């Protein structure tokens, strides 16, 4: 615990002691805020915005936190700068949503030397020494990919297309992000096991609509046809659909192209309900309350699991209703 915080706590306890014997006073000062530095990936997607909102709501002053927020704008060097800045400011905890899995050893060693616990959120990290971070909370991205490929198996069987060649246009997120690595692995594993599935191209959409729109528009000019789009997030899917629409290619619910997307934000679910996207695999961004809970438990000295998975489901045209969409937080 940092010196400044120990001092505030001591003053707070002295104050309480001086009030001992008196009835609790509504004017008693609140306990010192827990100072948390949060390095966020960026604002590349609707998912990310929902995630930031969840964090800022949960780690609010009313809930006992002072949140120092930094948006890294999808650049890992910005994350390193932010973390060094948090260390200098002697925050009590650092929360990192890492852009990539790699390259964290040095900066996390600096955080450990400064005695600041680090919580990793959303994507994972690969470090030589796992004790460089306290715990991780996020999604099982490989399982999300498995949900998608299993659904495609069932769909093709339903449409009696199991003996047809199935060409897949694969749109990938940022290189080295767990969401990219694991969703890609689930698809590549499935393709390796199935005789008729082929990946016709892998386009790097960087999780953004604009980049994907450009790439898919260019790709369509090659005249190569494909049966399925497997897109590693909703915003890239929106960009791809815009390009397909402009080219007059039908998609969703037995159109020319079957569309599979990840995240399941409200707009994607609406497309799915309208039969324009076939499958939305949920990636839950509501980490804020869980991160707050982890910090409170660390404050109490509770022991925690190293890895903590979010619960997730998927939605297709046949399971989705307007009520489900209206009840969603994001
Ligand atoms: O790491 C989670 C991924 O990052 C989400 O799928 C995507 O939308 C976000 O930008």
Q: How far apart, in whole angstroms, are the C-alpha atoms of residue 118 and residue 239? A: 35
Residue to probe by mutation, ligand 1, list 71, 97, 171, 177, most atoms within 8 Å of CB: 177
Query: Pairing state of beta strands 314-316 and 279-282?
Result: antiparallel
**What pLDDT is stored for residue 300 in this prediction?**
97
The stretch 301-329 carries a mean pLDDT of 95
Least confident range from 7-11, 282-286, 295-299, 310-314: namely 7-11
pLDDT band at 9 (very low <50, low <70, confident <90, very high): low
The stretch 286-313 carries a mean pLDDT of 96
* C-alpha count within 13 angstroms, C-beta hemisphere, residue 28: 18
Distance 31 CA to ligand 1 centre (A): 35
233 Cβ below 6 A of ligand 1: yes
**What pLDDT is stored for residue 11 in this prediction?**
55
**What pLDDT is stored for residue 304 in this prediction?**
95
262 Cβ below 6 A of ligand 1: yes
Residue to probe by mutation, ligand 1, list 235, 263, 264, 314, most atoms within 8 Å of CB: 263
* pLDDT tens figures, 232-282: 999 999 999 999 999 999 999 999 999 999 999 999 999 999 999 999 999
Distance 47 CA to ligand 1 centre (A): 6
* pLDDT tens figures, 20-31: 555 556 677 888
**What pLDDT is stored for residue 236 in this prediction?**
98
Nearest atom (ligand 1) to Cα of 177:
1
Q: How far apart, in whole angstroms, are the C-alpha atoms of residue 42 and residue 168? A: 29
- 118-121 β-sheet, strand order: 65-71, 34-40, 93-96, 118-121, 135-138, 307-309
Say what percent of the chain tops pLDDT 70: 92
Q: Whose CA is nearest to atom 3 of ligand 1?
A: 179
207 Cβ below 6 A of ligand 1: yes
The stretch 142-161 carries a mean pLDDT of 98
Mean pLDDT across the chain = 94
Residue to probe by mutation, ligand 1, list 52, 145, 147, 173, most atoms within 8 Å of CB: 173
**Is 70 exceeded by the pLDDT of residue 310?**
yes
- Three-state secondary structure readout of the chain: CCHHHHHHHHHHHHHHHHCCCCCCCCCCCCCCCEEEEEEECCCCCHHHHHHHHHHHHHCCCCCCEEEEEEECCCCHHHHHHHHHHHHHCCCCEEEECCCCCCCCHHHHHHHHHCCCCEEEECCCCCCCCHHHCCEEEECCHHHHHHHHHHHHHHHHHHCCCCCCCEEEEEEECCCCCHHHHHHHHHHHHHHHHCCCEEEEEEEECCCCHHHHHHHHHHHHCCCCCCCEEEECCHHHHHHHHHHHHHCCCCECCCCCEEEEEEECCHHHHHHHHCCCCCEEEECCCCCHHHHHHHHHHHHHCCCCCCEEECCCCEEECCCCCHHHHHHCCC
pLDDT band at 159 (very low <50, low <70, confident <90, very high): very high
**Is 80 exceeded by the pLDDT of residue 330?**
yes
DSSP lists the bridge partners of residue 258 as 228
Distance 28 CA to ligand 1 centre (A): 43
**What pLDDT is stored for residue 28 in this prediction?**
79
**Is 60 exceeded by the pLDDT of residue 127?**
yes
Contact assessment for residue 194 and residue 186, using Cβ atoms and an 8 Å cutoff: no
Distance 222 CA to ligand 1 centre (A): 29
Give, to the nearest 10 degrees, the angle between helix 46-58 and helix 234-246: 150
179 Cβ below 6 A of ligand 1: yes
47 Cβ below 6 A of ligand 1: yes
Q: How far apart, in whole angstroms, are the C-alpha atoms of residue 113 and residue 130? A: 15
Q: How far is CA 124 from CA 16, 24, 149, 181, in A?
A: 42, 45, 22, 11
Q: How far apart, in whole angstroms, are the C-alpha atoms of residue 6 and residue 14? A: 12
**What pLDDT is stored for residue 163 in this prediction?**
96
Distance 25 CA to ligand 1 centre (A): 46
Q: How far apart, in whole angstroms, are the C-alpha atoms of residue 246 and residue 257? A: 14
* pLDDT tens figures, 42-91: 999 999 999 999 999 999 999 999 999 999 999 999 999 999 999 999 99
177 Cβ below 6 A of ligand 1: yes
DSSP lists the bridge partners of residue 202 as 170
| pTM of the predicted model over 0.85 | yes
């Amino acid at each position: 615990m940092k010196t400044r915080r120990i001092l505030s706590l001591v003053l707070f306890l002295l104050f309480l002691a001086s009030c001992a014997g008196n009835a609790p006073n509504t004017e008693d000062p609140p306990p010192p805020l827990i100072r948390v530095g949060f390095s966020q990936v960026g604002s590349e997607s609707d998912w990310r915005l929902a995630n930031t909102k969840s964090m800022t709501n949960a780690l609010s002053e009313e809930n006992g936190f002072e949140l120092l927020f930094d948006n890294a704008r999808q650049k890992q060097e910005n994350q390193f700068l932010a973390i060094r800045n948090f260390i200098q400011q002697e925050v009590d905890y650092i929360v990192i949503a890492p852009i990539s899995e790699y390259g964290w050893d040095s900066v996390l060693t600096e955080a450990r030397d400064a005695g600041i616990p680090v919580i990793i959120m959303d994507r994972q990290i690969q470090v030589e020494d796992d004790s460089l971070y306290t715990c991780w909370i996020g999604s099982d991205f490989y399982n999300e990919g498995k949900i998608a490929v299993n659904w495609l198996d069932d769909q093709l069987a339903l449409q009696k297309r199991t003996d047809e060649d199935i060409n897949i246009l694969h749109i990938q997120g940022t290189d080295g992000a767990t969401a990219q690595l694991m969703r890609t692995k689930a698809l590549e594993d499935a393709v390796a096991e199935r005789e008729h599935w082929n990946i016709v191209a892998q386009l790097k959409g960087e999780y953004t609509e604009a980049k994907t729109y450009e790439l898919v528009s260019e790709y369509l000019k090659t005249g190569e046809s494909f049966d399925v789009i497997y897109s590693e997030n909703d915003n890239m899917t929106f960009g791809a659909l815009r390009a397909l629409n402009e080219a007059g290619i039908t998609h969703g619910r037995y159109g020319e192209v079957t569309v599979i997307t990840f995240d399941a934000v409200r707009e994607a679910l609406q497309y799915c309900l309208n039969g324009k996207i076939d499958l939305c695999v949920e990636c839950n961004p509501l980490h804020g309350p869980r991160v707050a809970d982890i910090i409170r438990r660390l404050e109490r000295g509770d022991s925690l699991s190293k890895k903590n998975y979010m619960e997730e489901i998927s939605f297709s045209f046949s399971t989705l209703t307007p009520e489900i969409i209206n009840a969603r937080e994001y």
